[in-house]
Amino acid sequence: MQPSYKASAGSFRAYICLVVVGSILGSLVTSVLLLARKEDEWLFIIGFAGVLSAFSTGAILGLHALTTPRRYEIHTDRLRLVARIHAWDYRFAWILSIDRLRGWRRVFFFGVNLSLGSAPAALIRMKGLPLFSDLVIAPQGRDEFLAHLQRALSDFRAALKHSSEAGSDRSESS
């Protein structure tokens, strides 16, 4: 089934790359300085830490790039988050509320944060465990995306209410 609306995810911010490259370059510069001063015992430790840092950072960034949503799709009954290797479906029946997220609230909250950088974000509250029931996403064109999502959620709830009323009417007439 085709989605009724699609939005791209926010872009990966350059400052994250700068922090990673800076930490690796810092280890390399320290190693060169220790080598120049003939501090062999520290050279091995700093060099090993730099290589370990580079590999672990690369692995984390690679996993992040594979699992972070690239696109958000609104279907008639669910919100779909599409990443490079997987897609997650969030049924409208699970969603309690949808809000714009501003300021520091996006940093200090308990839940799953799938937003990148400083793009305007949205908070989706869902049924479930209190710790992991909140989801933060950052689609491009957040306000337009949220308007489409609110409309689809309202249509879904109206159809669900209508079908439950029709079912209760049939059971009363029997």
Q: What is the pLDDT of residues 106-161, one digit of tens each?
A: 667 777 777 766 678 888 888 876 667 788 888 888 899 999 999 999 999 999 88
Q: Which of 64, 138, 62, 66 is nearest to 101 (CA)?
A: 138
Strands (E), the chain: 5-8, 71-74, 78-82, 87-91, 95-101, 112-113, 121-126, 134-137
Looking at per-residue confidence, does 158 or 17 come out higher? 158
- Average pLDDT on 76-85 reads 92
